[in-house]
A = this chain, B = another copy of it.
Amino acid sequence: MWMSSTHSEGNNRIVSDNTVIPESHKDLLESTALANVATAGPGGAPQVNPVWFGWDGTLITFSQTKARQKYKNLHKDNRIALSIVDPVNPYRYLEVRGKVIEFIEDPEKAFIDSMAKKYLGEDKYPWNQPGDERVIVVIEPERALTMG
């Protein structure tokens, strides 16, 4: 991979507090960058796709419909990794590894609406479909790796 020489292991402690993410890269968690989320699919093969995400200073969250494969994957294996690339500097990124500690029901769609606010500037998520059952996937970061 490019820039392997500047690769740093960041903060490797496997602890659940808000010091896992290096100060130097917390801005990425506060940005409107997408997170590319990797999970283990059926049989353990990796899967990855972009999501909107939230961050409360300790936990990372994203919205998921129950019909999606990723939701099923995470019920089977709650280990997860997210890659967040700086939108203005592609040579700077944060990888967070951790585990899903909770799925919170979102029947009123309050969380996905808050994501629409963050990413679209709209009060309501515009792409709800009849029958969509949404949960908030709550991730506890355990390890962070940074570059740039």
Residue numbers of A with Cβ under 8 A of B are: 1-7, 34, 36-40, 44-52, 62-65, 67-68, 70, 77, 79-83, 85, 90, 93, 95, 97, 112, 115, 125, 127, 129, 132, 145, 147
Contacts and interface: CB of A to CB of B under 8 A. Distances in A.
Contacts of A1: 49, 51-52, 62-65, 68, 70
Interface of A is mostly: strand
Contact of A93 (B50, B62, B129, B145): B50
Q: Which of A68, A83, A127 has the most CB of B within 10 A?
A: A83
A129 to B, nearest CB: 4
A136 to B, nearest CB: 12
A40 B7 CA distance: 19
B127 A48 contact: no
Contacts of A81: 38, 45-48
A112 B145 CA distance: 23
The 4 closest A-B CB pairs, nearest first, are: A38-B38, A36-B36, A38-B48, A38-B46
B46 A79 contact: yes
Contacts of A47: 38, 81, 95, 97
A134 to B, nearest CB: 9
